A and B are shown apart, each in its own frame.
Chain A
């Protein structure tokens, strides 16, 4: 169920990139898509359990049941991807700012018409 929602988020973002006419909206759609991807990593990390994987002495508290830790690897990996994603986003927004001087509406068809040979 949760997985379906996450995948729908990714697909919604992707369709936004295709169908939105405004360059700024396209970038925001891309952000939606990357949010979906990040959520998917978190979801997969939580398959084995929900506890934060911090090594501590739990055995004394509940010797019978081992603690169901979340998998730390996808979380660590997606941190890198989040940082990269947001720096790319920032760079793209700067580019859009520059483009908006001469193409104030930022319509993709207009930008493309003005800037391709």
Chain B
């Protein structure tokens, strides 16, 4: 298993360069990378004990692979495969697939490592590959969005690096367990970097514009897999160092509420999905010990939703209400929306129940409020009129079949969730959400200011969140 792990980590980077040498094989190689990761994740679930690898000494690379990382890796694999299938008959060049494979590999590496420097390298590589994918259309707007993304994430990672060396100074190791003896300023700096990278809470407001202005397959990849590379280390840190658990949970709650508060008022499909990603990352952080399963269901459903949103005739929800969409697309949209609202028979239900059960008592009200907001925002999709006719890309149904099939299959992971009390609660939340939607939110037009999404404010908020984190760690 040890050498298999090393081969699995190195494979995407190797194949990414092979694509340049043999451009004709591009999509096959990309699909093969995804398949390899999916197989490896399944092997991880079957393995009896977590795999710990320490290369070199205590200051070297440390890897930890268990079922938690297995969920994240499986998410990444399925999303990548779906994106490749979606792009199969498009005219994307080998460059696109090469960047996709390298992005997949770097996100995998972030899910495997438990030391700050390997994580830094993995996150920076994923940032570069992601921004190249965003800039793929080469329009001015896409270049600006990519540049903004790279700038924000690189500035955050500089703070993170300072934090990492402070951890090293206090415990002579870069491993996550070094956080225990680390001074508060090191914790604040590292968490600030990861919060920005993962798009969490106030410092994560770069995410909506980036995810909504990218091309459809790229936004699916970013929202489904790449943001989780920033969230996973936070989850892992909460599990390895118990003292940090309340801090991470409180950020989870804040993020869930912030994202949903924006999503409820948003009238643009892709922006709503992006804000909703922010809120769902909060759900992952709110209950770190079950975050893996939640990440899997969210990754599947969100990339499916982005692929569907890219096939709708318009991005404005107002236009879509007067323009019937294809019945089959509507069905797929409804299945995905039901899953994310936590409707039984789909894996979103199991994930929500599991998360709600592992919440601390002070989180319960806020998280139920966030779940209600989810139901409200997805009622906008469910009540769209159907009946029109539309052509979709040839790979669309294959990709959706993979993602939605995964949603139904993942349902079996937590079959014990199906008790009467568990089923009634989400149904009540969904009913309340729909009621609120019909009575209130359907007619409401509130335009929230986008001031905080401006570049200068994004950077400025970083310093504020640094101060906030510092006080939270000291407290």
Interface residues of A (CB under 8 A from B): 10, 14, 17-18, 26-27, 30, 33-34, 37, 40-41, 44, 47, 73-74, 77, 80-81, 84-85, 87-88, 91-92, 95-96, 98-99, 102-103, 108, 111-112, 114-117
Give Cα distance in the complex from A87 to B450, angstroms: 31
| B121 touching A30, Cβ below 8 Å | no
12 intermolecular pairs with C-beta atoms under 8 Å apart: A10-B158, A14-B155, A17-B459, A27-B151, A30-B151, A40-B165, A80-B117, A88-B127, A88-B128, A92-B151, A99-B140, A103-B140
Please give, as numbers and ranges, the residues of chain A lying within 8 Å of B145 by CB-CB distance. 115
B144 within 8 A of A: yes
| A95 touching B147, Cβ below 8 Å | yes
Give Cα distance in the complex from A90 to B161, angstroms: 20
Nearest chain B CB to A16 CB, angstrom units: 10
| A40 touching B117, Cβ below 8 Å | no
Please give, as numbers and ranges, the residues of chain A lying within 8 Å of B174 by CB-CB distance. 77
Please give, as numbers and ranges, the residues of chain B lying within 8 Å of A47 by CB-CB distance. 169
Give Cα distance in the complex from A114 to B455, angstroms: 13
B339 within 8 A of A: no
Interface residues of B (CB under 8 A from A): 59, 117, 120-121, 124-125, 127-128, 131-132, 135, 138, 140-141, 143-147, 150-151, 154-155, 158, 161-162, 165, 168-169, 174, 209, 213, 450, 454-456, 459-460, 463
Please give, as numbers and ranges, the residues of chain A lying within 8 Å of B161 by CB-CB distance. 37, 41, 81
Give Cα distance in the complex from A84 to B138, angstroms: 23
Please give, as numbers and ranges, the residues of chain B lying within 8 Å of A84 by CB-CB distance. 121, 124-125
Give Cα distance in the complex from A103 to B143, angstroms: 12
Please give, as numbers and ranges, the residues of chain A lying within 8 Å of B162 by CB-CB distance. 10, 37, 40
| B155 touching A98, Cβ below 8 Å | no
| B143 touching A95, Cβ below 8 Å | yes
Please give, as numbers and ranges, the residues of chain A lying within 8 Å of B128 by CB-CB distance. 87-88, 91
Nearest chain B CB to A76 CB, angstrom units: 9
Nearest chain B CB to A94 CB, angstrom units: 9
Closest 10 CB pairs of A and B: A115-B144, A95-B147, A115-B141, A73-B59, A84-B124, A95-B143, A77-B117, A37-B161, A98-B143, A37-B158
| B456 touching A44, Cβ below 8 Å | no
Nearest chain B CB to A57 CB, angstrom units: 23
Nearest chain B CB to A89 CB, angstrom units: 9
Please give, as numbers and ranges, the residues of chain A lying within 8 Å of B155 by CB-CB distance. 14, 17, 30, 33
Please give, as numbers and ranges, the residues of chain A lying within 8 Å of B450 by CB-CB distance. 116
- Of the candidates A77, A88, A98, A108, which one forms a contact with B150 in the assembled complex, judged by CB atoms under 8 Å apart? A88
- 5 further contact pairs, Cβ within 8 A, besides A27-B151, A33-B155, A95-B147: A18-B456, A41-B165, A84-B124, A99-B143, A103-B140
Nearest chain A CB to B196 CB, angstrom units: 13
| B165 touching A91, Cβ below 8 Å | no
Nearest chain B CB to A117 CB, angstrom units: 7
| B124 touching A108, Cβ below 8 Å | no
Give Cα distance in the complex from A37 to B135, angstroms: 28
Closest to A10 in B: B162
Please give, as numbers and ranges, the residues of chain B lying within 8 Å of A80 by CB-CB distance. 117, 121
Give Cα distance in the complex from A15 to B146, angstroms: 22
Residue of B138, B140, B146 most packed against chain A (CB within 10 A): B140
With known contacts A18-B459, A84-B124, A91-B131, A117–B213 Cβ distance under 8 A: yes
| A81 touching B120, Cβ below 8 Å | yes
Please give, as numbers and ranges, the residues of chain B lying within 8 Å of A10 by CB-CB distance. 158, 162
Nearest chain A CB to B37 CB, angstrom units: 24
| B460 touching A114, Cβ below 8 Å | no
Give Cα distance in the complex from A3 to B364, angstroms: 45
With known contacts A88-B124, A91-B128, A73–B168 Cβ distance under 8 A: yes
Please give, as numbers and ranges, the residues of chain B lying within 8 Å of A34 by CB-CB distance. 158
Closest to B152 in A: A17
Give Cα distance in the complex from A108 to B454, angstroms: 10
Give Cα distance in the complex from A94 to B25, angstroms: 29
| A115 touching B140, Cβ below 8 Å | yes
| A91 touching B455, Cβ below 8 Å | no
Nearest chain A CB to B50 CB, angstrom units: 26
Give Cα distance in the complex from A34 to B157, angstroms: 10
Please give, as numbers and ranges, the residues of chain B lying within 8 Å of A117 by CB-CB distance. 213
With known contacts A26-B151, A88-B128, A91-B150, A99–B144 Cβ distance under 8 A: yes
| A114 touching B140, Cβ below 8 Å | yes
Closest to A41 in B: B165
Please give, as numbers and ranges, the residues of chain A lying within 8 Å of B143 by CB-CB distance. 95, 98-99
| A111 touching B144, Cβ below 8 Å | yes
Residue of A84, A102, A111 most packed against chain B (CB within 10 A): A84
Give Cα distance in the complex from A92 to B16, angstroms: 22
Give Cα distance in the complex from A88 to B127, angstroms: 9
| A102 touching B140, Cβ below 8 Å | yes
Give Cα distance in the complex from A116 to B213, angstroms: 9
Nearest chain B CB to A68 CB, angstrom units: 16
Please give, as numbers and ranges, the residues of chain B lying within 8 Å of A73 by CB-CB distance. 59, 168
Give Cα distance in the complex from A114 to B139, angstroms: 12
Nearest chain B CB to A15 CB, angstrom units: 9
With known contacts A33-B158, A88-B150, A99-B140, A44–B459 Cβ distance under 8 A: no
Nearest chain B CB to A7 CB, angstrom units: 9
Please give, as numbers and ranges, the residues of chain B lying within 8 Å of A14 by CB-CB distance. 155, 459, 463
Nearest chain A CB to B209 CB, angstrom units: 7
